Chains A and B, each alone.
Chain A
């Protein structure tokens, strides 16, 4: 009898467990903000998932992601919306913030949808950046040129997809 009681208690606790966990991190909500200096893409919207490129590696963010801070690398941010659609947006640089209340802020210096990128223009930018890197003198100018090349490479890659 005692054993039976204990097992029902255990079962009760087990069923309680996950619901408790859910109520703490209010369900599958993800308060997503994606803004750039030139345009706003999402403002406090609820989405399924977002994949971001960062200097510590690309990663995907789902609701209830562990809080983190990261720095954006030039590349493509993929947003999976609630209705199953996905949107690809190129970003140049910026920051990613995941807070403990499951709100996510992706702030970019400049961002454009991938379909707006002109592939040939991107390649031209890359060529210019490479020639600038070759002729750059001084540490600061070299670093600036290297960043330009990095962004241009990411642009070409994004345009190719």
Chain B
């Protein structure tokens, strides 16, 4: 009996503070409201400063992304112009999917969208080819995929997202990636559009073999195995660099909006709680006055 009462009073004061303040106007709720008010104010301070930090990081990421865009376009130009991407649809089962995320959360649905795309892909093809491998860049994609597709995860790259990605990071990832044996693959990442929007997209990832099988490759002059291998290795690193930059920029912009919304929500809560707090305090004072006056009246 005693055990039940405690949680019910807690729930009443938290949820019914605004609506049912008539029922519980006493000192206990007043204290609880002020505690809650303090905690929400603290949370608002945190989200506000996180917003400021990510705004600064976003400005930098956006500036760097503007530099990286033509780089990525340059890499993709050969893919499109040689028709190499069309040759991929041959239906081989040795596929590799690279998830570009980061270690940090609290940034909207950026990482979830990447994981969702991959989950759909894996779920659709699990029957025919369970061998598709997943390369997780960033801890978040691992955490999101681990529960259902733990056996698909081949490599996980950590320590992503604390600092802006560099070409060195990309070449480290590329180095690991090349050692995995794959026929075709893709990189799933978030393409930055504006401060408030991004799009989850994918770019094809080609092995040297698929590149050599490109339909228009006969037009290209003086290509041998060695050149193609080096070319493919550098292309992979460059593509990773570009997608990591895109992803970092969308993440920061998304975190900025997420934290902005959180601060706004906290401000709204603070407003409501302050109102309730003042009303409750006034009610307590009024009640005490009534008690004193009626006590004095009874003595006369």
User: Which residues of A approach B to under 8 Å, CB–CB?
Assistant: 33, 35-40, 43-44, 55-56, 66-71, 93-95, 97, 99-101, 103, 105, 107, 109-110
Majority DSSP secondary structure for residues of A touching B: strand
User: What are the 7 A-B residue pairs with the smallest beta carbon separation, nearest first?
Assistant: A105-B74, A37-B167, A71-B230, A35-B71, A43-B70, A99-B81, A68-B221
Given A99-B77, A100-B216, the answer on whether A55 and B227 have CB atoms closer than 8 Å is yes
Mask: chain B, 224-246; 1 = CB below 8 Å from A; 0 = not: 00011011001101100100000
Q: Does B28 contact A (CB under 8 A)?
A: no
> Are B219 and A33 neighbours in the complex by a CB distance under 8 Å?
no
Q: List 9 A-B contacts (CB under 8 A).
A: A33-B73, A33-B74, A37-B241, A56-B227, A97-B77, A99-B81, A100-B81, A105-B78, A109-B171
Q: How far is the CA of A94 from the CA of B67 in the complex (A)?
A: 17
> Other than the known A69-B223, A71-B230, A105-B77, what 6 A-B pairs have Cβ atoms closer than 8 Å?
A67-B219, A68-B221, A68-B223, A69-B231, A101-B81, A110-B167
Chain B 246-276, CB within 8 Å of chain A: the 1/0 string? Answer: 0000000000000000000000000000000
Binding site for A on B (CB under 8 A): 67-68, 70-71, 73-75, 77-78, 81-82, 166-167, 171, 216, 219-223, 227-228, 230-231, 234-235, 237-238, 241
| Majority DSSP secondary structure for residues of B touching A | helix
**Complex contact A67–B221 (CB within 8 A):** yes
Shortest CB distance A18–B (Å):
21
A70 and B77 contacting across the interface, CB-CB below 8 Å: no
Chain B hits for A37, CB < 8 A: 68, 71, 166-167, 238, 241
